[in-house]
Amino acid sequence: MTKQILLSTKPFAARLLVAIMMCLPIFCSNTIAQEAESYVVFNSTEGTLTFKHDTEKPSDAYSLNYGYHFPDWRNQAENVKTVIFDATFADARPEFCSYWFANCENLTSITGIENLNTENVKLMICMFYHCFSLTSLDVSRFDTKNVEDMDGMFDSCSGLTTLDVRNFNTSNVTQMEAMFADCTGLKSIDISNFDTRNVTKMSSLFKNCSSLTSLDISKLNTDKVESMKWMFRGCSNLTSLDVSTLNTGNAKSMYGMFRNCSLLTSLDLSNFDTKNVTDMTDMFNRCSSLTALDLSNFDTKNVTEMSGMFTYCSALTSLDISSFNTSNVTSMSWMFYGCSALESLDLSRFNTEKVTNMNRMFAFDENLTTIYVSDKFVTTALTNNEGIFINCQNLKGAIEYEYGKDGKEFANYTTGYFTKSATTGIKPLDTNDYHTTDYYDLHGRRLDRMKKGINIIRRGNKTVKVSVR
């Protein structure tokens, strides 16, 4: 009897097993079909770009981009008026946001940005680049702990007047080139919490932030920064800028660093370490409110480019570059062009043996009367010497200035417009000077000890200048 029962159950068990196996493929296929994915839909009629994360991706939807690649919807950039982050997108974890809204020049609003979870994002390169029409942008909740590159992130967001980046974790960021460049409407920017210890490039970081009236960079760690090209270029409403905390020891380029900072009246560069700098082109070009500039501590032995370095520094009444080592410089074109308040220049240490371009070097220095040089100021390598002395009407050396005589043949102290050697009032360092009572810098600030550059030493009624190299 028991044997009969067991035998009778075998067909039933077999049928049950077959049924289960037949159902498995159906079950598995349904599971796969229901897996959510991230995608983007563009509505051309409404001009909306909608980000979603669900199981209903339409056939014409765009997938998210990856790495350094442009997103597939970039061809619609100029047609985008509104960006929407759907509630479903809160479940998405994108790794890359590079160029998402680049060149969306007609984008006026972003809704649901709280649904964008950036905890896994590595790249935010040019994320909002050229979003001219955006007047508000809330990125205060962005989790940036894994972000490595913020180059051009807000570049040319000229409609923004405020931008809250106080909570940005930038500890892993290595590049910040042009991050806020051309944000011409920004009234202020708080970067006091930025951790920039790993950043190597800050070129154009604040370029043309022309509405900024103040900028606190005291917390910026620039220990690894190699390029400071155009870093503050065009910050034309800054009346003061404290750069005393910047570590420039690894900087190789200072090209146009302060160009067009036209309201700056002073710059304390006494802590600048320029030993590795090779390019100082346009460094102070059009800093038209600077009345004095002490660069006596600058180490320029590796500099090859000085073109336009002081162009249109029209308020400079004095310029101490007596310590400049120019033995490797190849271009000095436009170097002092338009320095119309200068009356004398001490270039007695200038070595111009490698200089090939002096085009308009002193042009339109209308009040310049004396240029001191040594025998090392030569023009043997020059291939470009157009208008070196144009309108230097008061210049007098071996001869007085004559209109039309502006070429290299007058760049000497024997038959030209130069004067041999300057009497600077600076004496060589004496060992006994280390034991004098009081030390000051050229700004009159008391020093504990003498520093590299020019120091003022006071002992009793006697005051002297001492150059320490």
Domain range list for the chain: 281-424, 426-468
Q: What is the pLDDT along the chain (469 residues), one digit of tens a residue?
A: 443 433 344 454 545 444 545 554 444 444 445 799 999 999 999 999 999 999 999 999 999 998 889 999 999 999 999 999 999 999 999 999 999 999 999 999 999 999 999 999 999 999 999 999 999 999 999 999 999 999 999 999 999 999 999 999 999 999 999 999 999 999 999 999 999 999 999 999 999 999 999 999 999 999 999 999 999 999 999 999 999 999 999 999 999 999 999 999 999 999 999 999 999 999 999 999 999 898 989 999 999 999 999 999 999 998 989 889 999 999 999 999 999 999 999 999 999 999 999 999 999 999 999 999 999 999 999 999 999 999 999 999 999 999 999 999 999 999 999 999 844 444 444 434 444 456 666 555 667 666 766 766 765 555 566 666 5
Three-class SS of the chain: CHHHHHHHHHHHHHHHHHHHHHHHHHHHHHHHHCCCEEEEEEECCCCEEEEEEECCCCCCCECCCCCCCCCHHHHHHHHCCEEEECHHHHHCCCCECCCCCCCCCCCCEEECHHHCCCCCCCECCCCCCCCCCCCCCCCCCCCCCCCCECCCCCCCCCCCCCCCCCCCCCCCCCECCCCCCCCCCCCCCCCCCCCCCCCCECCCCCCCCCCCCCCCCCCCCCCCCCECCCCCCCCCCCCCCCCCCCCCCCCCECCCCCCCCCCCCCCCCCCCCCCCCCECCCCCCCCCCCCEEECCCCCCCCCCECCCCCCCCCCCCEEECCCCCCCCCCECCCCCCCCCCCCEEEECCCCCCCCCECCCCCCCCCCCCEEEECCCCCCCCCCECCCCCCCCCCCECCCECCCCCCCHHHCCCCCCCCEECCCCCEEECCHHHHHCCEEECCCCCEECCCCCEEEEEEECCEEEEEEEC
